Structure 1
Amino acid sequence: MKLFVALALFASLSSLALAKDEEYCQNTVITACASSAFSGNSICNARFAGIDHVEPEIQAYINAQLTKSYDYLLLATHFNSYQKNRPGFQKLYQGLSDRSFDDSIALIKQITRRGGVVDFNTRHESPASVSTKRNTVEVDELHSLALALDTEKQLASGATHVHSRATHAADADRDPELAHYIEENFLGKQADSVRKLSGYANDLAKLMKVPDPSLSVYLFDEYLQKQ
């Protein structure tokens, strides 16, 4: 009797597995190997949870990070010229450029680790896409800080959007692992960057409220070199 019950249970489980053949890598491999035709299958990948739902948002954010890295690099070059000669501002913007580039690489690694492919030939439009409108780099020190602050707020909003999409989607599209990754590696860092640049902009604006602000700007640049 026990043997009969065991056989019946095994049969029912086997039927359930066969009903879901298309969902599992193992079943796909078994089927393919039976005909000696297995050479890799789209089901046998590293994708799970809501990666399909969040991947376009992250790719849009990668594009935004790369664009802003280039913009910061232009600002750094502008202040490193012999006409401007502001090594402190050059150091600030070079650091922001390097950080955005490194963040792009980290996000690409995260996407591929989860079974995705980053396609730079496809334009991904979403609220995570930071405005790509080109701002002139021929600006003074205070206006450059204002541009940088706006950029950091946009990048912070993009990270928040990706986190929200991964956290508050429907059950099938929710991706806690990606949400945790964005929270741990981007949200706090972007908040700190916004706070720092807002302080710089307000401090320099106060220092420049004099008839000749050239000394104030020079001293502020000296301060930035030491940061």
Structure 2
Amino acid sequence: MKLFVALALFACLGSVALANNEEYCQNTVITACSSSAFSGNSICNARYAGIDHVEPEIQSYINAQLAKSYDYLLLATHFNSYQKNRPGFQKLYQGLSDRSFDDSIALIKQVTRRGGVVDFNTRHESSGSVSTKRGTLEVDELHSLALALDTEKQLAVGATHVHSRATHAADAERDPELAHYIEENFLGKQAETVRKLSGYANDLAKLMKVPDPSLSVYLFDEYLQKQ
């Protein structure tokens, strides 16, 4: 009987302690996350490490990815016309357009996951901003490959800049998680795309060193369809 009373008393004391602890935690959260504290400096968010310093570079890179996706879409449309009729080149540029758009969505999710907000009404510039100046996109097959190669190199440099900004900044501005994300999802992929397009451009340039390169271009387009 005495043992039962002791256990009951211990359980009651534990319940009181738990209730007091829950009340304390609740009061702390209410204080920290009150409506007046959500003006921008609240601790109840997903922001930490150097996200404040890297976020402008990431948003600039998102804008560049979207712009390049649109440019690639125009190239795909150009080669899909009845005048050009190059389904292989159309497939190549449609794939690059889709990839750049998907990368933009992935970056937006990454920014919001880290507590940021992507604002397309504000133009974000940084020292590593990717150029979005457009020349004419109604070009021939070889020049289109050169244009795509330049574009991918610009995107690769932009990704490298974001990675460097997140890695080599001062301690308070450093963000290893973002650096790892960029390295894992962008740097290797961009390097592979640059290598592929440079190979395409050099191969086609060699094939076109004939008096009438129309057959060479046709066969190269057939090759692109199979990739």
Query: In which range does the TM-score fall when normalised by the shorter chain?
Result: 0.7 to 0.9
Name 1:105's counterpart in structure 2: 105
Q: Cα distance, 1:18 vs. partner?
A: 23
Q: Cα distance, 1:29 vs. partner?
A: 3.3
Q: Cα distance, 1:169 vs. partner?
A: 0.4
Q: Cα distance, 1:137 vs. partner?
A: 1.2
Q: Deviations over 1:27-75 (max 9, x none)?
A: 9636468999999972210000000010000000000000000000000
Identical residues among aligned pairs (%): 92
Query: Highest CA radius of gyration, 1 or 2?
Result: 2
Q: Deviations over 1:146-169 (max 9, x none)?
A: 000000000000000000000000
Contact 2:61 2:129 in 1 (8 A): yes
Contact 2:33 2:42 in 1 (8 A): no
Change (3 A) 1:163 1:222: same
Contact 2:33 2:43 in 1 (8 A): no
Change (3 A) 1:204 1:30: same
Superposed CA RMSD in Å reads: 6.8
- Give, in whole Å, the separation in 2 of the partners of 1:52 and 1:192: 30
Change (3 A) 1:4 1:116: farther
- Give, in whole Å, the separation in 2 of the partners of 1:6 and 1:135: 85
Contact 1:63 1:129 in 2 (8 A): no
Please identify runs of 4+ aligned residues in structure 1 that moved more than 6 A.
1-28, 33-41
Change (3 A) 1:33 1:204: closer
- Give, in whole Å, the separation in 2 of the partners of 1:174 and 1:13: 47
- Give, in whole Å, the separation in 1 of the partners of 2:5 and 2:170: 39
Change (3 A) 1:86 1:168: same
- Give, in whole Å, the separation in 1 of the partners of 2:86 and 2:29: 62
> Unaligned regions of 5+ residues in structure 1, if any?
none
Q: Deviations over 1:157-186 (max 9, x none)?
A: 000000000000000110000000000000
- Give, in whole Å, the separation in 1 of the partners of 2:167 and 2:184: 14
TM-score normalized by structure 1? 0.84
Larger deviation, residues 165-174 vs 125-134: 125-134
TM-score normalized by structure 2? 0.84
- Give, in whole Å, the separation in 2 of the partners of 1:48 and 1:22: 26
Q: Cα distance, 1:138 vs. partner?
A: 1.0
Q: Cα distance, 1:26 vs. partner?
A: 8.9
SS in 1 for 2:122: coil
Contact 1:76 1:89 in 2 (8 A): yes
SS in 2 for 1:36: helix
Count of residue pairs brought into register by the alignment:
227
Q: Cα distance, 1:129 vs. partner?
A: 2.1
Contact 2:32 2:44 in 1 (8 A): no
Change (3 A) 1:206 1:43: same
- Give, in whole Å, the separation in 2 of the partners of 1:109 and 1:138: 34
Larger deviation, residues 97-106 vs 40-49: 40-49
Q: Cα distance, 1:134 vs. partner?
A: 1.1
Contact 1:166 1:173 in 2 (8 A): yes
Contact 1:156 1:190 in 2 (8 A): yes
Q: Cα distance, 1:11 vs. partner?
A: 28
Contact 1:166 1:176 in 2 (8 A): yes
Change (3 A) 1:92 1:14: farther
Q: Deviations over 1:79-117 (max 9, x none)?
A: 000000000000000000000000000000000000000
